[in-house]
Amino acid sequence: MGDQDLPSPFAVADAASLRGQFLTQLGTWLRLGGALLAVVGGAAVFSESRFAVLAVLGFAVALGGEILLLVRRPERDWYHGRAVAESMRTLGWKYAVGGAPFGSGPCSSQLDARIDAAVRVGRDGLDLTFRAPAATTAMDAIRALPFAQRRELYGRDRIGVQREWYESKAGWNRRQSRRSRLALVAGEAIALVLAAGRAAGAWDLDWSAILAVLLVSAGTWVALKRYEELAVAYGVTLTELGLVAESVRDATEAEWPRVVADAELAISREHTLWLAACADPGHAR
């Protein structure tokens, strides 16, 4: 079952989240890039008016980024959209394979109620609408399959796909964390040399001040991306999903609703922690 087979609010919430993520990162880049441009334009050695224009342009760019983040509040769409999208995934899969609370028997009205509740919670700033029934043709088709086929499909298309995703993302974030730390260390070493050179009178331009702003900007970007934190969180979830895969493979039909509910809880736990970190006032935008 693919994302196109999930309840209809998923597509809207997913698109809103991706758009919010892009605008949040764009606004952050404008703020940081504008600040760097302003410092370069305001360097003491650049007395010509054409370089002073760089400072004006830099502050204008930074202001534009700040206004974008303030007025559009794209981080809200990013976080709320992701929360709703993941809720749609969880509810869709639970219903399709017969996980609790959607055990045997008709459950479409119960699914509609839960989808509607999730949409109401995440509606702040998002253009979300919901019309029953929530169950798609693919979801109903999977629900009608024999238990053995549902178990195999869930283990392969849900748990297996999630394990591959978390393994890939954990490795990528580890590499990015290592590269960003090395880049910051190298930048700080270069700034030290430049500051020492200016103190010794080797040059007049305060390159170290410019580089300092660049390093602060890079550090802020790394904080926004949270490479190391995500690498650890994804690694923990990957380990947990390995245990979940065994439970899914060995589950009996009587145990199945509970096993699926536990599996979805393991998947959603990482998303819940991510949202909590994003809601922290100390979290970088």
The whole-number pLDDT of residue 277 equals 63
Q: Is 131 exposed, middle or buried (0-12, 13-18, 19+ CB in 10 A)?
A: exposed
Q: Is 221 exposed, middle or buried (0-12, 13-18, 19+ CB in 10 A)?
A: middle
Please report, to the nearest 10 degrees, the dihedral formed by the alpha carbons of residues 147, 151, 153, 156 taken in order.
-170
Produce one character per residue of 247-277: b if its CB has 16 or more CB atoms within 10 Å, e if not. bbeebeeeebbebbbbbbebbeebbeebeee
Q: Omega of the bond prior to 106 within 30 degrees of 0, cis?
A: no
The whole-number pLDDT of residue 125 equals 63
8 Å CB contact between 181 and 173: no
pLDDT tens, 67-90? 999 998 898 888 888 888 999 999
Q: CA-to-CA distance for 208 and 229, rounded, in angstroms?
A: 30
Backbone angles phi, psi at 104, to 5 degrees: -70, 155
State yes or no: pLDDT of 173 exceeds 80. yes
In the block, which residue shows the tokens 């342009």? Answer: 57
Token pair recorded at residue 257:
């609703």
8 Å CB contact between 98 and 150: yes
What type of residue is 191?
A: A
Q: Where are the domains of the chain?
A: 7-94+104-126+135-143, 145-285
Q: Omega of the bond prior to 101 within 30 degrees of 0, cis?
A: yes
Q: CA-to-CA distance for 188 and 199, rounded, in angstroms?
A: 16
Q: CA-to-CA distance for 129 and 251, rounded, in angstroms?
A: 36
pLDDT tens, 87-108? 999 999 999 999 999 987 888 8
8 Å CB contact between 160 and 248: no
Q: CA-to-CA distance for 166 and 236, rounded, in angstroms?
A: 9
The residue with greater pLDDT, 217 or 262, is 262
State yes or no: pLDDT of 158 exceeds 60. yes
State yes or no: pLDDT of 205 exceeds 70. no
The residue with greater pLDDT, 26 or 220, is 26
8 Å CB contact between 140 and 19: no
pLDDT band with cut points at 50, 70 and 90 for residue 282: very low
Q: By C-alpha distance, which of 86, 83, 241, 228 is closest to 170?
A: 228
Q: By C-alpha distance, which of 264, 252, 185, 266 is closest to 219?
A: 185
DSSP secondary structure code for residue 282 in this structure: T
Token pair recorded at residue 110:
């119960």
